[in-house]
Each structure stands twice: as structure tokens, then as C-alpha cells.
Structure 1
Amino acid sequence: MTEDDERWLVINGRRWRRTDPALPEDVAAALRSHLGRGRSGVRTAKRAGDDEAVAAARHRVGLAKHGLGERGPYWWDDAETERLARARAALDELGALDD
């Protein structure tokens, strides 16, 4: 696998950033769970016409994607400790949304 293959996923000609491979599986799984709930929340809120709920669900999606390294700073430019700290901070913030 080339370096580019480790960083990017191409689907239908569009390039998407891959999840940070250094994240422990339990952290990545928790972030993916929040991502799925956020995406589901966006769909549900859009159907209901609730703009505030759409914004809240998109915020959850954004936090999860930042934690996974799919948005924000390129994960390959930072040290593993910084990347893991960013992922755990995203999880903490996502957990606070549930409280």
C-alpha cells in the first residue's frame, strides 16, 4: 500500500480522508457510533423540518469526524500522542452532549 492509499479513499472519483489508523479500536468504534447517530439524527431532523436539531446533529457528526481524523488537521502531520488526545477530547465532548 502506498502512502497515499493509507491516507485517502477514492469513491466514485471523489477523494475522502481515511480514519487515523493509529487510533485504538475501542476509541475508533466509539467515534464511529457517534458518527452514525449523528448522521441518523440529521436525516430525522431534516424530515421533521427541525433546523435546530439538524444543526445539533451536524455538530455531532463534525466532532466525530474530527476525532477520527477525517476532518481538521491532517492526522499524518501530527504525533500519535496529539492525534489520540484529539480523539479522546472529541469523545469527551460527544459524551457531554448525551448528558
Structure 2
Amino acid sequence: MTARTAPLADTGLWQAVMAAASGRCQCRGTCGKTHKADGGRCPREHRPGAELLAAPAEPAQLLWPAHQAAALPKQALTAWCAPCHDASRSRARRAAEADTPPAEPDALF
């Protein structure tokens, strides 16, 4: 893997997550793709123009506010490419909405 350019506010956590991921997206299908042709793991690697981000490994936690996600330990984070991150987040949002019962309308009388 080539040299990594860390985000501006990196405190070493991003570097640790990328090292653990060997600079490759760690999605294994939560985005909706099987990644079958690549052994079950997304083939995208960190490089200029296709940077990876460190975000919660659990799709439901991708919906957390940034300040809560930022407090997670290194072991709870994984490397995501933007397409897998966005698709996994969308799927988690739809699943959360499906689990939420519809709101009862306010009665007028």
C-alpha cells in the first residue's frame, strides 16, 4: 500500500484503523453488494481520489451523531469507502424506520 494521507484532525486513530484494514475497505456486504468477485470484501483501496474513512463497524451505529461515533474505540471502527459507507448507512436508516411503529395521529376530540 502507498503512503496514507491522514485527515486534518487525525489523532492517530484513523491511521490505526487503516493499518488494521491494510488500506482496504472492510465492507463485507452490509452495503447490499456481495463483493463475491473479491472474496466477499470490497476491493476499494485508499488512494488519492478514493480516500477511505474510519467509521463505526456496526451499521446501526453509522446513524449515531458524529460526537458519539467519534468516542468509539479503535476496535469498534472499520475502514469504509464512500459508496459502501453511504449504502450501508442508507440501509441501516431504512431498517430503523421499518422497526419504528407509525405515530398515532393526534385526536381532535
Q: TM-score, normalised on structure 2? A: 0.27
TM-score (norm 1): 0.29
Q: Which has the higher helix share?
A: 1
